[in-house]
Amino acid sequence: MIDVTLKHTPAGEAARPQETPDAEQSEFSSDSTRAQCISCGHQGLEPILDLGRMPRSDGLLEAIGPAQTETLVPLRLGYCPGCTLVQLLETRPAEEMFGDDYVYFSSYSEDLLKHSRENAEELIRTHGLGPDSLVAEIASNDGYMLQNFQAQGIQVLGIDPASQPARAAREKGIETVVDFFGTRVAAGLRAQGKRADVIIANNVVAHVADQNDLVAGMADLLADNGTVVVEFPYVRDMIDFIEFDTIYHEHLCYFSAGSAKALFERHGLYLNDVRRLPIHGGSLRLYFSKCAAVTDAVQGILAEEHALGLDRFEYYKTFGARVRAFRDQARKLVGTLKADGKRIAAYGAAAKGTIMLNFLNLNDRAIEYAVDKNIHKQGKYMPGVRIRIDEPEKLMQDKPDYVMILPWNFRDEIIRQQRAFLEAGGKFVVPIPDLEIVSAPEQDSSR
C-alpha cells in the first residue's frame, strides 16, 4: 500500500494564478478570431490557454551542444463555437512529428497492453469475429493491439506513418501500410478488395489535421455492417483535472462526445455507443456504424455534457488561470526540495513530460536526468529542457531523493515497477491530478 504524504492542491483550494501579460493575451485573442475550426470550418475560435512556445514534444535530441538548435512553435488552445471542438491554433507538419525518428512504442506499457487485450477480446466476442473477418487499425504502432486479433486467426491490417514502430509490427507478422491514412489510402485498399469489419482508431483522430478526410476514409474502408471503434482522452477530464500536459502539437484537438458525434455524422457514421475509461487520465471509447442504433449511454452522456456546459465556452474560460496556478505550486515545491539539498530525477520521457518540464521551466539544473523503459529513447535528451534519458535501473544505482513521474497516467504501473526504490526510501512526485508526494508507508515498530 502506498502512502500519499503531501497534497498541494486540495479540492476547493487554489493558489493565486499568475496572469498572462495583457499584450500577449490581446495577441492570443486576436489570433483566435482569425483561426478556422479544423472540423466544421467555423471562422473564429474563443481563446482558452496559451502555453507559450514549445519544442516538438517527441523530438528527442541525439546530442546537446552550443550548435544544437530546436524549433519552437506556439502552443495555444481555443474553443469552436460552431461545433464545440477544443483545438490548437497552430501545429507542426505531420511528416515532422511522425517521421523516421518517431520512437513511441506502445508495447512498453504493461497497463496499455492489458487494456488493449481486453478491448480486443470484447470486440471478438461481441462482433463474432473469425477467420473471414478483417480488423484494420489506424495508427497501429508496433502491433500492440492487432496482435491480439492475429493470435485468434483473424485477418489484420495496420496503417501507420511512423517507420520504426511499423517495422516492429511487421516483425510480428502484422501486415502494415506505412502511410498517413485518409481517403487516398482507403481508396487504394478498396481497390485491392479490402473492406474492414472493424476499424480501430485509438488515440489518432486528434492527431490528424484533415479530420474530415480521415473520417471519410474510415467510412470508405468500413464494411456496410461494420463498426469503427475510437478512443481518445476526454476533454472533460482534461479540463476538470488540469491535465494541460496532454496538450502538445501532435494533439490537434480534444474531443467531447458531442464534438466527435458532429464530425463523424458529417460522413455518415453514427455514434451508437459510448464508454468512459480511466486510461490516460480519462478517455472515451466511441462506437460508430453506418446505421443509427443509438443506445441510452449515448443519449445520457450527451445530456450530461449539455448540463455541465461542455458545449459552451464558459466551461473552459477559467482553465488558463488554473493551469498557471498549478505552475506556481509545482515550481514552489521543486524550489523547496532543491533548497533543502534534495536530488530530483524524472521517470518517463513521454510527450506530456516534455510539455510539463518546459512549461515549469525545469531543466537539468532542477531535474538531473530522466529514465525510461523504451530502449529507443535511452541515451537521448528531452526536447527544450535537454535532460538526458537513461535506463530505469539507474534509480536504484544512483538513488535520488525524489523522482517526478511525468507519464502520470501510468503512475500505478510505474510505482509497481519501482517498488524497490520506494522501499529504499525514495519518493515520487506525481504532478497530476493532484500535486502529491508518494512514499512507502512507515513500518509499525511494535511488530
Dihedral sign of CA atoms 162, 244, 20, 311 in order: positive
CATH superfamily of 106-237+248-291: Vaccinia Virus protein VP39 (3.40.50.150)
**pLDDT, tens digit (0-9, with 9 covering 90-100), for 198-234:** 999 988 898 888 999 999 999 999 999 999 999 999 9
Looking at residue 58, its pLDDT comes to 87
Q: What pLDDT, on the 0 to 100 scale, is given for residue 280?
A: 74
Map out the domains of the chain as residue ranges.
3-12+320-439, 106-237+248-291
Q: What is the pTM of this model?
A: 0.86
Asked if residues 248 and 352 have their Cβ atoms less than 8 Å apart, the reply is: yes
Over residues 349-388, the pLDDT tens digits come to 999 999 999 999 999 999 999 999 999 999 999 999 999 9
Q: What angle do CA 105, 343, 427 make, to 5 degrees?
A: 65
pLDDT of residue 281: 77
pLDDT at 77: 97
Give the pLDDT of residue 91.
84
Mean pLDDT (the chain) is: 89
Distance of CA 108 to the CA centre of its chain: 15
So what's the pLDDT on residue 304?
97
As a whole number of Å, the end-to-end CA separation of the chain is: 17
The span from the CA of 183 to the CA of 178, in Å, is 15
pLDDT of residue 102: 64
Going from the C-alpha of 39 to that of each of 83, 90, 214, 215, 407, the distances in angstroms are: 8, 14, 11, 11, 29
Radius of gyration of the chain (CA): 22
pLDDT at 23: 59
pLDDT for the residue numbered 22: 58
For the cut 80, the answer to whether the pLDDT of residue 442 exceeds it is no
- Condensed to tens digits (0 to 9), the pLDDT of residues 138-179 reads 989 888 889 999 999 999 999 998 888 889 989 999 999 999
φ, ψ of residue 76 to 5 degrees: the values are -130, 140
Count CA within 13 A, CB hemisphere, residue 132.
2
Average pLDDT estimate for 72-78:
95
CB 372 within 8 A of CB 346: no
Using one digit for the tens of pLDDT, what is the confidence trace for 254-312? 999 999 999 999 999 999 999 998 877 789 999 999 999 999 999 999 999 999 999 99
| Identical topology for domains 3-12+320-439 and 106-237+248-291 | yes
4, pLDDT greater than 70: no
- For the chain, the helix, strand and coil percentages under 3-state DSSP, each to the nearest 5: 35, 20, 40
Residue 96 has pLDDT above 90, yes or no: no
> Which residues, listed in sequence order, are joined to residue 306 by a DSSP beta bridge?
none
| Average pLDDT over every residue of 110-125 | 87
Using an 8 Å Cβ cutoff, are 61 and 383 in contact? yes
**CATH architecture group of domain 3-12+320-439:** 3-Layer(aba) Sandwich (3.40)
